[in-house]
């Protein structure tokens, strides 16, 4: 004859020759308030976002290198948004990273348009001359 399973909270008897084991009851976890975690929040992500934003804005001011500003600008915006979404410390740095990344992208797109228009006008001027 077999023994029925134990009721919840009741310990099951160990088979013959086996050591008796006791397990800890399951623990209940509660959310930690933000005030307790304020000192433990990481500042790496907002700092990394600000560095990418500074790199993007500096590269966007350099002639012909501003074509490559789109990538660091997008990375700065992504890191800045991630830092703001996670409510990490250094929220001001994250906001500045978003602003600098957006300005770098706008500047880069503006310079790309200027270069394209200048190139097309040079081609048009060269095609209209007759020899």
What is the SS3 assignment for 60-85?
HHCCCCHHHCHHHHHHHHHHHHHHHH
- As a whole-number percent, the residues of the chain with pLDDT over 90 amount to 24
- As a whole-number percent, the residues of the chain with pLDDT over 70 amount to 72
| pLDDT tier, 73 (very low <50, low <70, confident <90, very high otherwise) | very high
d(CA 119, CA 129): 16
Structural contact between residues 22 and 11, judged by C-beta atoms closer than 8 angstroms: yes
- What is the arithmetic mean of pLDDT over 4-9? 66
Structural contact between residues 104 and 53, judged by C-beta atoms closer than 8 angstroms: yes
Select the highest-mean-pLDDT range: 23-27, 43-47, 100-104, 117-121: 100-104
Is residue 75 predicted with pLDDT exceeding 80? yes
d(CA 60, CA 90): 25
Considering the chain, what is the average pLDDT of its residues?
80
Structural contact between residues 77 and 101, judged by C-beta atoms closer than 8 angstroms: yes
């Amino acid at each position: 004859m077999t023994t029925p399973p134990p009721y919840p909270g009741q310990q099951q008897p160990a088979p013959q020759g086996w050591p008796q084991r006791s397990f800890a009851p399951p623990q209940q976890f509660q959310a930690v308030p933000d005030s307790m975690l304020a000192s433990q929040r990481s500042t790496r992500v907002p700092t990394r976002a600000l560095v990418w934003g500074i790199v993007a804005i500096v590269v966007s001011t350099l002639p012909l290198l501003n074509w490559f500003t789109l990538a660091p600008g997008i990375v700065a915006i992504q890191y800045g948004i991630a830092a703001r979404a996670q409510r990490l410390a250094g929220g001001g740095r994250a906001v500045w990273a978003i602003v600098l990344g957006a300005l770098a992208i706008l500047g880069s797109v503006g310079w790309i348009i200027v270069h394209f228009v200048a190139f097309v006008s040079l081609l048009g001027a060269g095609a209209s001359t007759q020899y």
